[in-house]
Amino acid sequence: MIKKKIGTYLNNELFIGSLIIVGLTFLGNLFSYLFQFLGARLLGPIDYGIVAIITSLIAIFSIPSSAIQTVIAKETTTLKVKGKTNKIKGLMYSSIKKVILAALILFIIYSILAIPFSNILKIKYAYLFYTGFFIFAAFLYPVTTGIVQGLKKFSSLGFNFFINCFIKFVVGIGLIVLGLRVYGAITGFLAGMFLAFLLLLYSLRKIFKNKTESYSLNLFSQTNLYPLIAMLLFVLLFNLDVIFAKIFFDAELAGQYSVASLIGKIIIFVVSSIGTVMLPVSSEKHAKGKDSKGILNKTLMLSLIVCLGAVLVFAFFPKMIVGLLFGAKYLSIYPILVLVGLAFSFLALLNIYLFQAIATNKIKIKSIIILLACLLIECIAFKISSANIETFAFGFMISAIISYFGGYIIFKNGKS
């Protein structure tokens, strides 16, 4: 009986894919968090607060990355199911051309907008301008990761994520130690993403040998635009806390809050890796006219276990976690760790609903309106709870709970 159950799990596509992705993502995130941990210790709260803002900006730049990857993964899976694998090469070429043009336009716009924002966020313009080059990486990288995900090459996807994080760690920390400080951290982010992109191109070398059949996907069509906007709003939901903390609190307190947020985001990253596996599996079932709710339920169960485990650790060992990872200078934020953990847990579960809605073509205009309302509620919560860091974290948790139920509505309503 036990052997039969074990055999069932070993033959389960979601389970094996999740195991591979979670394992390699864990190793990658280990280096990402070592980068943040050592960066926080080496830079101190003030400069680390700047790096935390830059990390959030990079996450926002990566919004198109998440959306483009999701759309291309779904399209790649569809082409594979229909036996049109030669068109995948054409899909990659046409997509790369489009994203380079889009990235150039956005880089110019961002460079202009960064001038007033440097004053609002109290950060040097040079830091923001240099960070802007990440826009090109954020648009190019998901073209390749989307194809790899759509082909369900989870080992390649996970390994590449690990390499990305490892290069970021080595280059970033190395340059910080050499005295480049914030510039060194930014260079680490850029080096990791661009080199990982080149490695993925190499891993797809078999596709280059295929006959090229032209295939153009309108990445920004109405069908694909709604998922892109939905992912944009979601990434804002779990990154605005650090930005608002920088606006409302002094530099040192904002840097300390950034550490609590960083620890909480561990939940988002682990759960997202599970959702990354679910999306192509659900998409393939949907393309074949099969019900994918069973996949969703399994994914939610795995995600809930991760969330509950993390929150319990945050609740019972907050001081130990903060002290061991970041040192005594950040210990004052340990009381808010469980609140921040709960906030990110609800947002992580929301992300699973969004992945499922995208896979089954349920993201429509009503979904966008609901997510916009969630984002507005979060901004209002930050504003009215900005008296101190404890109320700020509590407001974040309440807004995250509301956002979760918004995600539930998006999935349950097939006409969303």
In a domain, 136, yes or no: yes
In the chain, the percentage of residues whose pLDDT exceeds 70 is 91
Cα–Cα distance for residue pair 392/325, rounded to 1 Å: 23
Cα–Cα distance for residue pair 139/142, rounded to 1 Å: 6
Instruction: Give the count of domains, the chain.
Output: 1
In a domain, 7, yes or no: no
In a domain, 2, yes or no: no
In a domain, 1, yes or no: no
Cα–Cα distance for residue pair 297/340, rounded to 1 Å: 25
In a domain, 169, yes or no: yes
Cα three-residue angle 298-276-66, rounded to 5 degrees? 140
In a domain, 230, yes or no: yes
- Expressed as residue numbers, the domain containing 120 is 12-412
Q: What is the pLDDT of residues 117-137, one digit of tens each?
A: 999 888 999 999 999 999 999
In a domain, 237, yes or no: yes
Lowest-pLDDT range, 87-96, 157-166, 314-323, 401-410?
Answer: 401-410
pLDDT attached to residue 115: 95
- What tokens were used for 258? 């950034």
354 compared with 167, residue with greater pLDDT: 167
pTM, two decimal places: 0.75
Q: How is residue 249 annotated by DSSP?
A: S
In a domain, 5, yes or no: no
The three-class DSSP label of residue 388 is: coil
Q: What are the CA-CA distances from residue 124 to residues 40, 57, 134, 254 (Å)?
A: 19, 14, 17, 16
Query: In sequence order, which residues have a C-beta less than 8 Å from that of residue 70 and are 6 or more positions away?
Result: 146, 227, 231, 279, 355, 358
Q: Name which of 164, 173, 220, 214 is nearest 194 in CA terms.
A: 164
